[in-house]
C-alpha cells in the first residue's frame, strides 16, 4: 500500500535515544479523520463512525515499553486524573500544552517501530488502537449518547476473542445476522488490507 500519506514520527524523537521523549502529533488525528472517518476516502471504515465527534490525542514516544514479556508498540487510554488537586491541574496543563485542549483519549505509539514499519503495518496499528474506543451501551445493549450534546458516549473496549471461540465451538454462530456469524464470515474472507496481528503488541490488549 503506497501513497496514503501517513504521518511518521519526527526525526527529533528518534535522534535522542538517551532521553525519554513524548511528542504530540495533531496531524495524525487529522489524518484519521480525513482517511478513516470520511466516507469520501478509499480507506473509510464505517466501524469508526462513533468517533466523528471524539477528542483523541496521539503521542509518539522513543521509550521502549513491554507487558507480560511482549514489546508494546501502541496503547490506547481513556484520559483520567485520579490524584490531588495540584497533581490533576499539572497533568491537565501538560495535556493542554500538548494538544491545545484536553482530549478524552490518548493513543501512544512507539516511534522506533513506526519509523521502520510499512504503511500497511502502521495503518493496522492505528486502526487497532482506535478500535479500542467503542460506543458505550446501556443495560439493554443499546448505544448510549451524551444527553447534552447528542454525541455517542464512548468507552474503552477490549478485543478478547477466547469467549467467542468457545461459544462458536460449542453452540455455533447462531442467527446469520448475529455478531458471531459476522465475525466468522469476516475471518473466512481475504483481508481487505493485509493480514497483520497487532494485538500481540498492543498495551491495551495485553495490560
Please report the pLDDT score of residue 197 as a whole number: 73
Each residue's pLDDT tens digit, 65-101:
888 888 899 999 998 887 889 999 999 999 999 999 9
How many C-beta atoms surround the C-beta of residue 152 within 10 A?
A: 20
Place of cell 486524573: 81
**125-146 pLDDT per residue, tens:** 998 899 889 899 888 889 899 8
Rounded distance between C-alpha atoms, residue 64 and residue 89, angstroms: 27
Q: How far out from the chain centre does Cα 69 lie?
A: 21
For residues 31 and 33, give the distance between their C-alpha atoms in angstroms, rounded to a whole number: 5
Dump pLDDT digits (tens) for 17-27: 888 999 999 99
Instruction: Say how far apart CA 134 and CA 141 lie, in whole Å.
Output: 13
Question: Is the pTM for the entire model greater than 0.85?
Answer: no
Nearest to 74 by CA among 87, 85, 83, 65: 65
Neighbour tally for 196: CB within 10 Å: 16
Digit-coded pLDDT (tens) for 51-68? 999 999 999 999 998 888
DSSP 53-76: T--EEEEEE-S--EETTEE--EEE
**Distance from the Cα of residue 76 to its chain's centroid:** 5
Amino acid at each position: 500500500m503506497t501513497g496514503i500519506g501517513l504521518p511518521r514520527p519526527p526525526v527529533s524523537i528518534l535522534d535522542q535515544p538517551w532521553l525519554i521523549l513524548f511528542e504530540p502529533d495533531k496531524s495524525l488525528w487529522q489524518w484519521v479523520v480525513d482517511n478513516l472517518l470520511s466516507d469520501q476516502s478509499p480507506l473509510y471504515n464505517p466501524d469508526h463512525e462513533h468517533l466523528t465527534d471524539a477528542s483523541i490525542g496521539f503521542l509518539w514516544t522513543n521509550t521502549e515499553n513491554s507487558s507480560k514479556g511482549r514489546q508494546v508498540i501502541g496503547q490506547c487510554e481513556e484520559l483520567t486524573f485520579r490524584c490531588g488537586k495540584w497533581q490533576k491541574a499539572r497533568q491537565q496543563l501538560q495535556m493542554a500544552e500538548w494538544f491545545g485542549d484536553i482530549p478524552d483519549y490518548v493513543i501512544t505509539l512507539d516511534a522506533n517501530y513506526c519509523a521502520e514499519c510499512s504503511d500497511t503495518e502502521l495503518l493496522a496499528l492505528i486502526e487497532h488502537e482506535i478500535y479500542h474506543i467503542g460506543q458505550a451501551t446501556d443495560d439493554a445493549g443499546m448505544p448510549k449518547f451524551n444527553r447534552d450534546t447528542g454525541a455517542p458516549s464512548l468507552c474503552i473496549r477490549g478485543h478478547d476473542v477466547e469467549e467467542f471461540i468457545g461459544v462458536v465451538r460449542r453452540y455455533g454462530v447462531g442467527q446469520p445476522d448475529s455478531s458471531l456469524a459476522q465475525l466468522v464470515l469476516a475471518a473466512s474472507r481475504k483481508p481487505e488490507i493485509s493480514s497483520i496481528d497487532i494485538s500481540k503488541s498492543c498495551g491495551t490488549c495485553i495490560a
